[in-house]
Structure 1
Amino acid sequence: MTTNRRLVRMSSPVGVVPAQGYSQVVTGPGRLVVASGQPAIDEHGEPVGPRDPDTQARQVFANLGRCLAAAGATFDDVVKLTHFTTDIGYLASIGAAWDEFVDPRHEPASVAIQVRALSRPEFLLEVEAMALVAP
C-alpha cells in the first residue's frame, strides 16, 4: 500500500494477486473529476501521429492533462485510467507516455480494452481518466 498526498493505493489487497504497474484499488476523499476518452487529436481537430502509437499516446496524455487542469486536477489526482486500443500491443507506448507525464510510481487503478475500432480510423488508442481532487 502506498500513499500520495491523500490518496491510498493498494496494489495487493488480501486474496488478490499483486498488480504490476497499476493499483488494484485507489481511494481517498475529494471531488470527483471524470475526463472523457481522449484520442490523438490536436486543438484544431486534426489527428496527430497517424499509425504511430508513441506519438498518439503522448498527444492523448497531453489532452488529458489539459482536461484535468480545466477541472482543477493534475495527473497526481488520477485514480483510474481506462485504455482503449485497437491493438493490445500498443500498451507499451501508452505506458511510456504515461511515464513521461507522471512519476512512474504513481499507479492508478487501470484497465485496458482492445477494440475493433475507435471514432476515426486513424486513431490507435484513447484514454479516459477519473481523478479525486482534495476537498
Structure 2
Amino acid sequence: MKKILILACTATFLFLFSQKTVSPVEYKSSPKVFSIKGLSQSVSIDCGSSRMIVLSGQVPLDAEGNLVGKTTEEQTHQVFKNIENILKEYGGTGKDIIKLGIFTTDITKTPDFRKVRDNYVNLQNPPVSTLVEVSRLFREDVLIEVEATAVVKNK
C-alpha cells in the first residue's frame, strides 16, 4: 500500500510540476530545530490527498545548537524530538514516517537507538530503513544522524 502511495505521489508531483500553475514543493526550516543557513530542514511535496515530507539528516542539537546527550540513547532522543518538531509543522508525527536513514559511529549501539526509535514510529507498520556505520559525523561528539521521509494526510 505504501509503495502505491509513493508511486501515486510521484505521479502527482510530475503532473503538477508540468502544469507550472502551482508549485507542489515547499521548503521549510522549523524555529524549534537548529538550522544551518543555506540548508532546508525539510521539503514537502504535495501529492493531492497527502504530502510527502523529506527531512534533512537530524542531529542531537537543540534549537540553539547545543549538543544534547553524551550517549547514543540520549542523542537519539534529541534527534527524534527534532524530527517530531519538524513533522508537527506539517500536521504530522513520527507515526507518519515511512523511511529512515540512520548513520551511527558505533553500530553496536543499535539496540539503544531502536529502544528510543520505537517510541516514535508506527510499530504496526514500521518504516523501511537503512543503517550505516560511519567513522565520523560532522562533529566528533555527534554519535548519530537520522534522515526521515514521512507521508502526512492533507487536512
Q: Same fold (TM over 0.5)?
A: yes
Unaligned runs of 5+ in 1: 1-7, 10-25
Matched, 1:44 2:81: no
How big is the shift at 1:72? 2.5
Q: Which runs of 4+ in 1 moved over 4 A?
A: none
CA distance in 2, matches of 1:66, 1:39: 13
2:91 partner SS: coil
CA distance in 2, matches of 1:127, 1:93: 14
CA gap 1:115/1:27 in 2 versus in 1, 3 angstroms: farther
TM superposition score normalised by structure 2 = 0.65
Q: Which has the higher contact order (CA 8 A, sep 6+)?
A: 1
Matched, 1:100 2:122: no
Aligned length: 111
2:119 partner SS: helix
Matched, 1:77 2:105: no
Q: Higher helix fraction: Structure 1 or Structure 2? A: 2
1:66 partner SS: helix
Pick from 61, 70, 89: which aligns with 2:80? 61
Amino-acid identity (%): 35
Deviations 1:31-54 (A, max 9, x none): 21011111111121100112x111
Unaligned runs of 5+ in 2: 9-49
Contact 2:121 2:127 in 1 (8 A): no
CA gap 1:86/1:27 in 2 versus in 1, 3 angstroms: farther
Contact 1:68 1:74 in 2 (8 A): yes
CA RMSD of aligned residues (A): 1.7
TM superposition score normalised by structure 1 = 0.74
